[in-house]
Structure formats: structure tokens, C-alpha cells
Amino acid sequence: MNLYRNLIVAALVLTFGVVVLGAYVRLSDAGLGCPDWPGCYGKLTPKHAADEISRAESVQPGGPVSHAKAWKEMVHRYFAGTLGLLVLGIFALAWKNRRDAVGSPALPAALLALIVFQALLGMWTVTELLKPFIVTSHLIGGMSTLALLAWLWQRECGPSLYGMANVRHLRLWGGLALVVVAFQIVLGGWVSTNYAALACLDFPTCHGEWVPEMAFAPAFTLHRELGMDASGNLLTLNALTAIHWMHRAWAVVVLVFVGYAAFRLVRQPGLSGLGGLLGLMLLVQICLGMANVWLGLPLLVAVMHNAGAAFLLLVLVVINFRLFRMR
């Protein structure tokens, strides 16, 4: 069982890395660095496809294909492939040792199915030319993988919760905090995949107004091409503003619910440390979001904002596991 638990920890750490690396690839416009899948121009590495990449660069200088972008994209694929193998190993060991495991192999099986679907989304991300719905779904899949692995990690490797205090009165707030953060992650992914992060260049207002002119229908139409509305016309600034503004508005909801949950948890023996960490991560995320606007979306800050969202989700999954497993 030690191997099983070690694989879970390794997969959890690697998943966090893959999520952050995926954000880096997306934010550095390297999503089409290799315009085919799973290889790069049918080759194993960008080094083997150097001639094809050079030809693509000569045809479209500064375009989506370059040697640097190809390596970013392929390194992400290599890490994601390694994660797939780890999850396959977790499922195999969970099934083999199902009589001795803490829980059933259903969760590892769900993880394996999710990883397979993630691979398909990764392929469609490239072949469908970065359609926002597919890229956002790929982000959601990565975060879901992180959440499921965190739950499995707590189940198999976490501390014993026997004899801990009754915390049923906190379950509602822990659950609500997790839901509002999950929805904010989806909104943040929609902002990123539609390149709407700088649709508002001021903060806390947007275009100098608290409620600027917006176009919600084209902004939240799911089936469309990147940068286009459902009719094939260029997405307007009002639509991009709607996407950005919704992410900001929901951040207020996150602040209220997660902030209150953190306040309640800090006062609960046995959970005060996690409550403090939750409150700290909430403040860090808010500061990073504001810095993205004020500083013009520097790559490092934007990637840190994505990493902060993943870590906030991880903390909330651990909190909810303990809330629902305690008496």
C-alpha cells in the first residue's frame, strides 16, 4: 500500500504542476505551438520537427508556431502523459488491493476515465483551433482531476479524524465556499480562453463605470470560434467587457462566502490552521487579480493567479473532506 499512497501523492503534485504549466502555455499563446496531436508535425519532439517548424515560422513570422512555443506545448504534453500513466497505476493498484484499501476503487476508476477524457479535450483543443468552450472544458477537467486526487489523497493518506469534534454546523459553509470558488474558476477560464483579461483596464471600475455597457448574449454563447460570435463576426469590446465584468462581480461573492467560511473555520479547534490558510489564499488571489489589471497582465502574475486558484481549490477540497468525514 505504500506504493499506492506514493503514487497518489506524486500524481497530486504532478497534476498541480500540469495545471500551472497549462496556464503558462495558454497565457504565452503557445497552445498551437505544435498544430497537430499527439506529436509535433508527427514527430516525437520539436527537435525532430525543426524543419517543419522553421517553414511555418517563415510563412507566418510571429504566428502561433515557433520553436519556443512548440517546446512549451510539448513539455506540457509530456507531463500530462506522465500523469496519465500515474493515474493508470493508481487504478491498477486500487483494483488489485481493493479488499485492503480504505475505500472502493470507484474513485480511481473515475479519475482514470477523467484523464482519458482530458486527453481527448487536449487533442480537440489543437484540432479545433482553441475554441473557447473546449479550452475552458480542458481547464475544468484539469481542476477536477486535482480535486479528485486531493480527495483520494485525504482518504488514503490523510490523518485519522476519529474522535474529532462535531462540525456539522460548518458543512454548509464549507460546501458553499467550494461551489462558489469552482464557479469562479470556470469564469476565470472563460476570461482567459477568450483573451478578455484586459477588457477593463481600470479597477475597481471598468471603463470608468461600475456597470459599463456590456453584451452578454455573444459573450456567453458557448458554440463559437475564438474571437468570434455565433454569426462569425468579431467579438465586440462590449462582449469581452461582459466576460471580464462577470468574473469581477463573482469575485465579490467569493469574498463573502469564502471569507465567512474562513472566519468560522479559524474559530473551530482542529480546523483553525486550514481556516487561516483559506483566508490567506483568498486575500492573495484578490491581490493577484487586481495586480493583473493594474500591471497589464504580466505573464508571471497571470500564471501565479492560475496557480493560486488551483491551490485555493485544493485547500477547500481538503476542508470539505474533513468536514464531511468528521462526526
Count how many Cα atoms sit within 13 Å of the Cα of residue 128 in the half-sphere of its side chain: 19
Q: What is the pLDDT of residues 260-288, one digit of tens each?
A: 999 999 999 889 999 999 999 999 999 99
Confidence of residue 159 (pLDDT cuts 50, 70, 90): confident
Residue with cell 472566519: 263
| SS3 category, 234 | strand
Length of the chain: 327
Confidence of residue 228 (pLDDT cuts 50, 70, 90): very high
Residue 184 in contact with residue 250, Cβ under 8 Å? yes
Q: What is the pLDDT of residues 18-76, one digit of tens each?
A: 999 999 999 999 999 999 999 999 999 999 999 999 999 999 999 999 999 999 999 99
| 120-136 mean pLDDT | 96
* Paired residues of 53 in beta bridges: none
For 302-323, letters b (16+ CB in 10 Å) and e give bbbbbbbbbbbbbbbbbbbbbb
**Cell numbers linked to 293:** 489589471
Q: What is the pLDDT of residues 106-117, one digit of tens each?
A: 999 999 999 999
3-state helix, strand, coil in the chain (%, to 5): 70, 0, 30
pLDDT recorded at residue 327: 56
Residue with cell 502523459: 81
Catalytic residues: 73
pLDDT recorded at residue 103: 80
| 291-302 mean pLDDT | 97
| 283-310 mean pLDDT | 98
Judge whether residue 1 has pLDDT over 70.
no
From the list 246, 255, 244, the residue with the least C-alpha distance to 176 is 255
